[in-house]
Amino acid sequence: MPHFDPVTKPVNLRPGDIVAWDYDPAVKSTPYTGHTVMIRAYLGTLASTVDSKLGISGVVPHLFQIVDCTNSPHGGPDLSSPSSIDRYRAHPDTRAEIADDNSTYTEHSGVGYGHVIFYADPDTSLFVGYRWSVNSSSPQAAVAQPVTGKKQIAAGRVNAFLV
């Protein structure tokens, strides 16, 4: 794509890079945009018991703080789970508020910061999926090249090309 250099491995993402993925490969509505985020910071890896749901032994979960616009903030906690609340407090979304006493959680839509996991293949380090938040229990497989029935993911860095 003109003006973008591909970034094929989550570990190579830097602040300002753009990542886009397809929610549902069967959707044919127009316009359909999937979801797009801009990387704000790489925060290392964050393993979870849900990582195994991808079915890739040794998959590497890379944690990023991102900037996006959404009506579904990244990471709402299960208020009945102290560990879920702790994860949310460590990796919050600016479009959501949790009461000091952990009794309520309120979401807002719009532009803000959140946290996303991008998964890498343990052998090639290429993208193999994502998880919407640190509290999501559903990692999603996603690949860079079109594969029937699979979600796609792509990342790029704006290059120095000047018009």
Q: Give the pLDDT confidence of 9-53 residue by residue, as tens digits.
A: 999 999 999 999 987 666 666 666 789 999 999 999 999 999 999
Cα angle vertex 109, ends 24, 32, to 5°?
A: 30
* Cα separations in angstroms, 9 against 15, 61, 82, 108: 14, 12, 33, 31
| Coil/strand/helix, residue 84 | helix
Given a contact cutoff of 8 angstroms between Cβ atoms, the answer to whether 40 and 100 are in contact is no
Q: What is the pTM of this model?
A: 0.91
Domain containing 67: what range? Answer: 4-158
pLDDT in tens, 57-112: 999 999 999 999 998 899 889 999 999 999 999 999 999 999 999 999 999 999 99
Given a contact cutoff of 8 angstroms between Cβ atoms, the answer to whether 153 and 104 are in contact is no
- Averaged over 121-136, what is the pLDDT? 95
161, pLDDT greater than 70 = no
**Residue 55, in any domain of the structure:** yes
Count of domains forming the chain: 1
Given a contact cutoff of 8 angstroms between Cβ atoms, the answer to whether 105 and 135 are in contact is no
Nearest to 84 by CA among 130, 139, 133: 133
Please, which pLDDT band fits residue 143 given cuts at 50, 70 and 90?
confident
Given a contact cutoff of 8 angstroms between Cβ atoms, the answer to whether 144 and 74 are in contact is no
163, pLDDT greater than 80 = no
**Residue 163, in any domain of the structure:** no
124, pLDDT greater than 90 = yes
- Round to whole Å and give the CA distance between 19 and 24: 16
- Round to whole Å and give the CA distance between 39 and 25: 23
Write down the pLDDT at residue 87: 93
**Residue 13, in any domain of the structure:** yes
Q: How many CB atoms within 10 Å of residue 58?
A: 10
Write down the pLDDT at residue 27: 67
